[in-house]
Amino acid sequence: MTTARRLPPLCSIAAICALGGSALLMTGCSSTSTGSSVAEAAAASPTSTASPSPHQSLTQDQTQRRDLLSKTKVTWDQAAGAAVKEVSGGKLIAIELKGVSGKAKSSPTGTPSVATPNPAPAAGAPEWQTKVATADGTVHWVEVDAATGKVFRSQTEPDQDADDRKKIADRLRKATQTPAQAAKVATDKTKGKVTAVNLDEKDDKPVWSVDVVSTDNWTKTTYDIDAAKGTVVREHTDND
């Protein structure tokens, strides 16, 4: 998935000064009648202020969020469900709404091949990029079409070593709060659309980082939620 400040007195003063200056040049002196006429003319013609259109008032990031969400038909939790089904015994550890890249992802030599069960959406179309991990910490990338809910690409994460897998497995074991519970905590505080959920770590404790985009102004608020207690430990609003 961001008011204009009005200063009419300055505009009115500028108008009076301009008209007054013209009157002085034409008559060479000021008179009560001339001053009254100028004042009346200024009062009769108030300065108009143009209201900015919604498109002009949005930043680039806000516009991108609006455009991406307008094309998204599948919610984050629906996409998460589709992704988890692709990995036996897997659990969601990350999901984010993105625009499909025009570049195809390739597998490095020696890594598992990319599975493409369904055609990929066109470049720029919305997709849910997810990461699903098994109990031993092995991570799988699964991409879901945000318009149809179909998985169109999946692959085991390359270059994961034993330490990487252990770290992920430890986070999963400590995270007693589910992604859905964390998302509810976030949306109870900010009404909007969830565009990302990610299992992270802060001060050696697992946290769910949840992005919520307001459909009123398309700003994004990120909540870090204790993955064991379900409490908010950090909140940040991106007004860009």
CATH class of domain segment(s) 65-238: alpha beta
- Give 196-231 as a DSSP string: EEEEEEETTEEEEEEEEE-TTT--EEEEEEETTT--
pLDDT band for position 44 (cuts 50, 70, 90): very low
The answer to whether the CB of 34 falls within 8 A of the CB of 24 is no
Lowest mean pLDDT among 27-36, 55-64, 159-168, 189-198: 27-36
- For the whole model, what pTM was predicted? 0.74
Greater pLDDT, 98 or 35: 98
Residue 30: what pLDDT? 42
Roughly what angle, to the nearest 10 degrees, separates helices 179-189 and 76-85? Answer: 170
Q: Is 194 helix (H, G, I), strand (E, B) or coil?
A: strand
How does pLDDT run across 104-141, given as a tens digit for each residue?
454 444 455 688 889 999 999 999 999 999 999 999 99
How high does pLDDT run on average in the chain? 81
Greater pLDDT, 6 or 175: 175
Measured torsion, CA atoms of residues 48, 53, 58, 64, in degrees rounded to the nearest 10: -170
Rounded mean pLDDT of 88-103?
93
Quote the percentage of the chain above a pLDDT of 70: 72
Side chain identity, residue 179: P
How does pLDDT run across 219-238, given as a tens digit for each residue?
999 999 999 999 999 999 99
Residue 81: what pLDDT? 98
Residue 56: what pLDDT? 55
Lowest mean pLDDT among 8-12, 22-26, 120-124: 22-26
Greater pLDDT, 190 or 102: 190
Greater pLDDT, 161 or 11: 161
Lowest mean pLDDT among 64-78, 102-116, 174-188: 102-116
Count the neighbouring beta carbons within 10 Å of the beta carbon of residue 201: 13
CA–CA separation, 182 vs 207, rounded Å?
9
Residue 240: what pLDDT? 79
Residue 102: what pLDDT? 74
> Does position 181 have pLDDT exceeding 90, yes or no?
yes
CA–CA separation, 47 vs 25, rounded Å?
24
Give 205's contacts (C-beta < 8 A, 6+ positions apart): 174, 226, 227, 228
Side chain identity, residue 190: T
